[in-house]
């Protein structure tokens, strides 16, 4: 088995990804053709997705080198909030790629001119530049927005507060910048700040130090601390999985990747590398499941190939998957190599030789493949014979999963070669393809009547709300209300978002709007929570009872009833 390469991403899509993009583009065109979308369908999200934002690390004007990590933290936090608000905010990996492409060091602090060059390399529409300083225990952050096409820079936006409240400070700054990027977005500042409420400053510091630390051992130490302090923070688990994968600690890497939110922006990437980690550690059934999960969403050639390898290592036939991989990316020699081996095991001798010849055209210096070709063409081998049958003991031995180490697997003989693994992941291509799928969904949504659009948007928003992603949930509930102002569930959803964000006035307003449209347990629960917090126990009891009448099995309504009873008991 070949030694896996280091964990990395690259900005340019592979040929396989381009093939998928072509199919997706055709489907997108078909989906868009009949669309008659409202002027601001999905709250302008299509325009936002096309708006690429690059956030650069903030300059440290505090005079304290120990706070340098805050500059990178600012870029990470702002980028995350922009993505949640529907913009295409570039990742740190994208920025690192561009710096490398321009021949600049990773710690390079660009001037305005070089920042524009960096943005153009990444096709960014806007750049965020900023700085921070400290005074008497307070953090003062300021940022400016550069419109790349027009070469215009806004006046500085500022936010400040206690250093211990750093995350809320940058969330407030992100809200101001987002309002400038899209004045009609309409998400409240309270929701932006609530989005980072579960993050700990000490845990986030460890995460930032972990992803920026060049020493592997130190990076692992920081990231281990980060996931202990913030066990629900997917980016820290993703970064930890990367480091463990790079050090060939595959079982630990697989466990870390499994902690990444599968529905989040790194979900597909994490599942792909979990599949690789399981494959290299010998857990072929679980590896097959991981690659199959990715392939159900984005069946790129590298995913299909590795799923095929996992199947083959269990002694099963994966010819169909290798055929798909070779068809999707005919210029990648590995797919022809694997297909040749699979065909040979199925007794399809002539087809196997043809695929091996295709491989050698692309990689003529491969001595293992040359030996295979000689062995397969030896007098004992007749291309017209059926060769080994899958059911024969010899074929089963040839296809059985190896129990040898990775190093021993590399020395397989020409008579019994092993399929090769594609151990690199084009994360950018996956993100681009996933974005095209989202655009297809949006195009299909635009063809629906407004009422049905609103229901589907509200259902998506509820999924985000159930995962605690308030910013994403509010954006989609707002879109649902824009599509159909009379959808009670959208108003009830907005009420719950605003209640969780701490905006009591807006939450009550939305809950009352929902109840004017239709009875709703969710809306009564929001009002009950608000009245309980305000000490209005009689009203809270009435609202909890109404919620229970509508949904007798509601755990939230039952819990609210117990909380009211406990508070009444304490009053007596």
The torsion of the CA quartet 503, 49, 98, 95, rounded to 10 degrees, works out to 10
Residue 424 has pLDDT above 90, yes or no: no
Banded pLDDT at 121 (limits 50, 70, 90):
confident
- Written as six digits, the tokens of 245 are 């994968």
Residue 46 has pLDDT above 60, yes or no: no
What does the pLDDT look like over 441-469, one tens digit per residue?
788 888 899 999 999 999 999 999 999 99
What is the average pLDDT across 54-81? 95
What is the average pLDDT across 249-259? 98
What does the pLDDT look like over 153-209, one tens digit per residue?
899 999 999 999 999 999 999 999 999 999 988 899 999 999 999 999 999 999 999
% of the chain surpassing 90 pLDDT: 67
Give the integer Cα–Cα distance in Å for 5 and 425: 10
- Written as six digits, the tokens of 112 are 């305005």
User: Angle between the 166-181 and 69-84 helix axes, to the nearest 10 degrees?
Assistant: 50
- Written as six digits, the tokens of 562 are 């117990």
Give the integer Cα–Cα distance in Å for 223 and 218: 9
What is the average pLDDT across 266-276? 94
Give the integer Cα–Cα distance in Å for 504 and 129: 34
* CB burial string 245-278: b at 16+ within 10 A, e below: bbbebbebbbbbbbbbbeebbbbbbbbbbbbbbb
What is the average pLDDT across 549-556? 94
Does domain 44-185 bear CATH number 3.40.50.10070? yes
% of the chain surpassing 70 pLDDT: 81
Average pLDDT over the chain reads 85
Instruction: List Cβ<8 Å contacts ≥24 apart for 333-337.
Output: 333/358, 333/359, 333/362, 333/363, 334/305, 334/420, 334/422, 335/301, 335/305, 336/362, 337/369, 337/419, 337/420
Q: How many other CB atoms are found less than 10 A from the CB of residue 151?
A: 9
- Nearest Cα neighbor of 540 from 514, 517, 519, 559 is 559
What is the average pLDDT across 540-551? 95
Residue 383 has pLDDT above 60, yes or no: no
480: exposed, middle or buried (C-beta count within 10 Å: 0-12, 13-18, 19+)? buried
Residue 244 has pLDDT above 80, yes or no: yes
Residue 29 has pLDDT above 90, yes or no: no
Q: pLDDT at position 122, please?
A: 75
543: exposed, middle or buried (C-beta count within 10 Å: 0-12, 13-18, 19+)? buried
Which helix (H) or strand (E) segment is 126 a member of?
Answer: strand 126-135
What is the average pLDDT across 420-430? 78
What does the pLDDT look like over 273-298, one tens digit per residue?
999 999 999 999 999 999 999 999 88
Q: pLDDT at position 117, please?
A: 75
Give the integer Cα–Cα distance in Å for 21 and 299: 11
What is the average pLDDT across 27-37? 46
Residue 44 has pLDDT above 50, yes or no: no
Phi and psi for 104 in degrees, rounded to 5? -110, 150
Residue 393 has pLDDT above 50, yes or no: no
What is the average pLDDT across 535-562? 95
- Written as six digits, the tokens of 422 are 């594609």
Q: How many other CB atoms are found less than 10 A from the CB of residue 300?
A: 27
Q: For residues 36 and 447, is the Cβ–Cβ distance under 8 A?
A: yes
- Nearest Cα neighbor of 117 from 108, 427, 107, 182 is 108
Phi and psi for 59 in degrees, rounded to 5? -75, 140
463: exposed, middle or buried (C-beta count within 10 Å: 0-12, 13-18, 19+)? middle
Domain borders along the chain are 44-185, 450-571
Under 8 Å CB-to-CB from 259, ≥6 apart: which residues? 227, 231, 234, 237
- Nearest Cα neighbor of 276 from 261, 296, 257, 262 is 257
Q: pLDDT at position 530, please?
A: 96
Q: pLDDT at position 1, please?
A: 42
Residue 16 has pLDDT above 60, yes or no: no
Does domain 450-571 bear CATH number 1.25.40.10? yes
Q: For residues 52 and 90, is the Cβ–Cβ distance under 8 A?
A: yes
């Amino acid at each position: 088995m070949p030694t896996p390469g280091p964990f990395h991403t690259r900005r340019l899509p592979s040929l396989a990804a381009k093939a998928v993009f072509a199919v997706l583009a055709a489907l997108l065109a078909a989906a868009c053709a009949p669309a008659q979308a409202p002027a601001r369908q999905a709250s302008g999200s299509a325009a936002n997705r096309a708006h690429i934002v690059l956030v650069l690390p903030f300059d440290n004007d505090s005079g304290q080198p120990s706070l340098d990590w805050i500059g990178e933290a600012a870029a990470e936090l702002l980028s995350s909030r922009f993505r949640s608000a529907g913009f295409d905010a570039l990742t740190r990996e994208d920025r690192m790629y561009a710096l490398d492409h321009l021949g600049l060091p990773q710690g390079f602090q660009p001037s305005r001119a070089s920042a524009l060059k960096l943005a153009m390399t990444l096709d960014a529409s806007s750049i965020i530049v900023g700085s921070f300083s400290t005074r008497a225990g307070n953090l003062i952050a300021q940022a400016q927005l550069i419109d790349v096409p027009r070469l215009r820079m806004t006046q500085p936006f500022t936010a400040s507060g206690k250093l211990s409240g750093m995350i809320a400070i940058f969330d407030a700054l992100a809200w101001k910048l987002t309002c400038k990027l899209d004045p009609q977005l309409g998400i409240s500042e309270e929701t932006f700040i609530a989005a980072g409420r579960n993050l700990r400053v000490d845990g986030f510091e460890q995460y930032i130090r972990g992803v920026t630390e060049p020493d592997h051992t130190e990076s692992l130490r920081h990231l281990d601390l980060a996931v202990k302090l913030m066990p629900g923070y997917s980016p820290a688990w993703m970064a930890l999985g990367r480091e463990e994968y790079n050090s060939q600690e595959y079982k630990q890497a697989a466990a870390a990747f499994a902690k990444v939110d599968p529905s989040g922006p790194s979900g597909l990437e994490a599942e792909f590398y979990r599949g690789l980690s399981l494959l290299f550690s010998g857990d072929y059934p679980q590896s097959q499941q991981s690659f199959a999960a990715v392939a159900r969403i984005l069946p790129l050639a590298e995913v299909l190939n590795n799923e095929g390898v996992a199947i083959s290592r269990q002694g099963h036939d994966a010819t169909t998957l290798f055929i798909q991989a070779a068809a999707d990316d005919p210029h990648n020699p590995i797919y022809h190599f694997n297909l040749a081996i699979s065909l040979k095991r199925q007794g399809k001798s002539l087809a196997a030789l043809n695929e091996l010849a295709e491989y050698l055209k692309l990689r003529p210096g491969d001595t293992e493949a040359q030996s295979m070709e000689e062995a397969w063409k030896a007098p004992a081998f007749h291309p017209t014979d059926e060769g080994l049958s899958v059911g024969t003991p010899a074929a089963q031995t040839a296809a059985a999963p190896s129990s040898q180490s990775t190093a021993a697997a590399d020395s397989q003989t020409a008579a019994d070669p092993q399929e090769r693994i594609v151990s690199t992941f084009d994360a950018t291509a996956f993100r681009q393809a996933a974005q095209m799928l989202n655009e297809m969904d949006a195009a299909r949504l635009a063809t629906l009547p407004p009422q049905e659009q609103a229901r589907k948007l509200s259902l998506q928003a509820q999924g985000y709300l159930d995962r605690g992603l308030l910013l994403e949930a509010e954006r989609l509930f707002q879109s649902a209300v824009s599509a159909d102002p009379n959808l009670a569930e959208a108003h009830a959803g907005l009420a719950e978002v605003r209640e969780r964000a701490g905006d009591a006035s807006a939450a009550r307003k939305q809950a009352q709007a929902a109840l004017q449209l239709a009875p709703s347990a969710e809306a009564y629960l929001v009002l009950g929570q608000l009245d309980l917090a305000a000490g209005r126990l009689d009203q809270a009891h009435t609202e909890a009872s109404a919620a229970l009448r509508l949904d007798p099995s509601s755990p939230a309504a039952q819990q609210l009833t117990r909380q009211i009873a406990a508070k009444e008991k304490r009053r007596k």
